[in-house]
Amino acid sequence: MNPYASLPDSAFWRKGVVDCFPSFEGVYKKKFILRDRDKIATAGSCFAQHISRHLKQNGFDILDKEPAPPNIAPDAYWKHGYGQYSARFGNIYSVHQLLQLAMEAFGDGSIELPIWRRDGRYYDALRPGVEIDGYSSHEQVVEERLRHLESVRALFLDLDVLVFTLGLTEYWYDTVLNAVLPIAPEVIAGDFEPGRHEFRNANVLEVVSVFNEFQKYIQEKRDGTIFRCILTVSPVPLTATYANRHVIVSTSASKSILRAAAAHLQDSQGQIDYFPSYEIVTHPCRRSSGFEENMRTVNPEAVADVMSVFFGQHKPNSARNDGEYPNQDIDLYVNCEEERLEAVLDD
């Protein structure tokens, strides 16, 4: 009557990992079907850009509510924040950032737009890596922000499925303007002010609570219409940590918190699925590093493994590349504001 006797091979390490290497068969079983008519939105931390790109190239209906203007060449789209996600919001590293963006898009909350300066240029502090050279004036930042929020509002009202990659638990908060920041001031632009700019680090309960608040908020704006979510955890380690511990420990803590939160959300809600990109890239069953020599950038082979598992469950509508991003170098390019933190090592 051993309760394990009737379990499938995938429940056992030897049968499910060692004996079937290098296959990832059974690692992921979809909770729901992605239908041909489903309108999919993508967002999250920098690894989400790989997922977004591959979904689009394989025929899924990926929303883009903020396409690039005709005066920008296709090989420059990514460097100006276009085509990375379903709107030009740049990387959304935390669930707090996601909720804040939603509330701002619909005109709720008490947030005031922080605008940073550097070398005579102006930056939207809520997406400072989107326009790499900044804007020419304060007014231009505000104008572009309002246009962006219109796109975000349309996105949340139109989507059927949100694919969101959880990236970080550590974040910075502007206590004067009540704003969650994607990165600390002075890394890209702006001035850091102790006391005003506060370091925060979310726990599991907080991540779950904030994501649930986001879901409830958007559902209310959609007149009760439920949308489905596919959550994943970014395998990319932290570039730097502000917590008083080694970056290895902070990375493990952050990813563990996000993974536990995702598990709780998946187990407790029928409209939420979890896709194990984190496990596929980082697990020893790969028998080789999933990262480049910097031990942080996910290599093409690991990305291919991740997407192969995904498409094994969610069959591509068509294996196509529509040519919107024809430069092969762009296919590997990932815009990541967090990587700017390494610049302090050279100062």
CA dihedral 76, 77, 81, 84 (to 10 degrees): -130
Q: Looking at 120-124, 152-156, 318-322, which range is the least confident one?
A: 318-322
Share of the chain above pLDDT 70, in %: 91
Domain boundaries, given as residue ranges, for the chain: 36-346
Q: Tell the residue number behind the tokens 């994607």, with chain if given.
A: 182
Q: Under a CB-based contact definition with an 8 Å cutoff, are residues 278 and 234 in contact? A: yes
**pLDDT score of 327:** 36
The per-residue pLDDT for range 242-299, each reduced to its tens digit, is 999 999 999 999 999 999 999 999 999 999 999 999 999 998 877 778 888 888 888 9
**pLDDT score of 161:** 97
Q: Which amino acid is it at 211?
A: F
The per-residue pLDDT for range 108-118, each reduced to its tens digit, is 877 889 999 99
DSSP classification of residue 132: T
Q: Looking at 166-175, 265-274, 317-326, which range is the least confident one?
A: 317-326
Q: Which H or E element spans position 278?
A: helix 277-282
Q: Which amino acid is it at 31?
A: K
Mean of all residue pLDDT scores within the chain: 89
Residue spans of beta strands (DSSP E) within the chain: 40-44, 115-118, 121-124, 161-166, 170-174, 179-181, 197-201, 228-233, 272-274
Distance CA 22, CA 280 (A): 11
Picking from 317, 310, 202, 295, the residue whose alpha carbon sits closest to that of residue 255 is 202
**pLDDT score of 16:** 86
Would the pLDDT of 129 be above 90? no
Maximal C-alpha separation, the chain: 74
Picking from 205, 211, 255, 202, the residue whose alpha carbon sits closest to that of residue 100 is 211
**pLDDT score of 317:** 76
Handedness of CA 215, 37, 309, 332 (dihedral sign): negative
Q: 61 vs 40, 100, 159, 228, 299, CA distance in Å?
A: 6, 26, 10, 15, 26
Q: Under a CB-based contact definition with an 8 Å cutoff, are residues 94 and 171 in contact? A: yes
Per-residue confidence band for 21, with pLDDT thresholds at 50, 70 and 90:
confident
The per-residue pLDDT for range 196-245, each reduced to its tens digit, is 999 999 999 999 999 999 999 999 999 999 999 999 999 999 999 999 99
CA angle 267–92–37, rounded 5-degree value: 65
Residue spans of beta strands (DSSP E) within 267-343: 272-274
